[in-house]
Amino acid sequence: MAGKGAKATAAKAAEKEKGKKAPGSRSSRACSQEEPVPKKDVYQLFAEKVRDNKQLESRWAVMQETRVEYFRGKDFTTFIKNHPEVGEILGPDKDMEAEDIVNTLLTKNLVIRCDRVWKTVRPGKKKLSSWPAHLEIHQEQVFTENDGFYAWMFLKRRTLWQTILSFIWPVFALAVCLFPVYPYQCKIVVLYSCAGALLFIVSLLLLRAAIFGVLWVLLGKRVWFFPNINAEETTFRELVRFWPVKDEGERPKWTSRLIYATVALLVILLLRHHAPDEAARAR
């Protein structure tokens, strides 16, 4: 009996020791199963930092029915020379030339080389546009500083305003759908607000066209003040731009300017002749 009791006591002690060792073994097994968190590529971080930097001039264009943001090769070379601190994020590759950096970005599919769709000068233009609005993929995916365009191939980080607007748009759509049940005073406010916005847009377009016509007839320059709100491919930066861009077109002939001025004068006189008199306006 004593021998049996000693054996039972020894078995219980062994079970307790196993129980004490079990958590340690499980934790070590769990640690061994944990995978290391992959670090983000330094070139991905570099591309995001460069794209967010306002010193590198970029524009938007359409490439294969998709809007892309792109920059020019010569602007990127100037940007790297003037801002060497941006390359510190590359670590050992911080002293690389702009050509090698862009070639690495091309290899990692962070950018893609593009080419203009229309490669000949359009009628009425003196030279090709510095920032084409339509692009296509270039056959040779290598860096070139002269007339080289490169589009970003990754999604830009969502800004705070974009996040806020993503919540506001559904609320706005719901408010539009509930317009029939608005109180009468709210309907009047919405009606006059929409009418005022429409009047502002029409007035802006007429004033823009009048300034363009006067300067075109007198000086032969194509000057468009105020933003072009009718453009399908405009960006917010271009929408709020007031000063016109540089005129790259050929100066029109004086005969065509004289003909258009005569036609415009005749239309104004015709409208003035058929305008209602004071009594008709009063009635």
CB within 8 A of 48, min separation 6: which ones? 154, 156, 157
Cβ distance 74 to 145 under 8 Å? yes
Parts of the chain belonging to CATH 1.10.10? 42-152
Closest CA to 221 of 262, 171, 257: 257
Residue of higher predicted confidence among 83 and 282 = 83
Residue 51 and residue 49: Cα distance in Å, rounded? 6
Tens digit of pLDDT for each residue in 165-187?
Answer: 888 989 989 988 988 898 999 99
Q: Which two tokens stand for residue 244?
A: 């016109």
85 to 50, 79, 80, 101, 230: CA distances (angstroms): 11, 11, 9, 14, 40
Q: Give the pLDDT confidence score for residue 188 in this predicted structure.
A: 93
Fold of 42-152: Arc Repressor Mutant, subunit A (1.10.10)
Q: What is the pTM of this model?
A: 0.56
Per-residue pLDDT reduced to its tens digit, 45-65: 898 889 888 888 888 888 888
pLDDT, average across residues 253-274: 84
Which pLDDT does position 126 carry in this prediction? 73
Q: For residue 71, which of 110, 40, 44 has the smallest C-alpha distance?
A: 110
